[in-house]
Amino acid sequence: MPRQIIPKLCFPDDCLTVVALAAEAGVHRMALQKRHADLKEEFYAQVRTETHQTPEVERRLRKEVVRLKEALKDSRAAEAESRHRAEQMALAAAVLTLRRPVSLDQPAPGNVIPLRPPGE
């Protein structure tokens, strides 16, 4: 038979939180949250079952998870764009290197500055 941690979910101000549970039980909230995490989880499970509601803490955390997933997706897209630009710049540098004049008879176009002085 499962133990029942509270006879019914009825608190002053209708706050169904672990803090309210600790106050009702006359214990410090940290004792309930840290040392008796199993009771905290059982309390929230009972809140979900009896009220058909998600606790406020869980709603906030779910919203934060959605926000963080969006931020991660945006960050990955920015990283992919940066990689693409780096590849394009490397290809452009390779093309410019291959197109440099082979001899001094073929002068470089006016907008190209050679990396090495001619004759080296």
Q: Which residue has the higher pLDDT, 32 or 118?
A: 32
Give pTM, 2 decimals: 0.43
pLDDT band at 94 (very low <50, low <70, confident <90, very high): confident
First-last CA distance in the chain? 90
Q: Which residue has the higher pLDDT, 34 or 69?
A: 69
Domain positions in the chain: 1-53, 56-98
Element (H, E) at 30: helix 29-30
- Average confidence score pLDDT of the chain: 76
Q: How far apart are CA 8 and CA 6, in angstroms?
A: 6
Interval 5-19: pLDDT, tens:
444 445 444 566 777
pLDDT at site 37: 77
pLDDT band at 72 (very low <50, low <70, confident <90, very high): very high
Q: Which residue has the higher pLDDT, 86 or 120?
A: 86
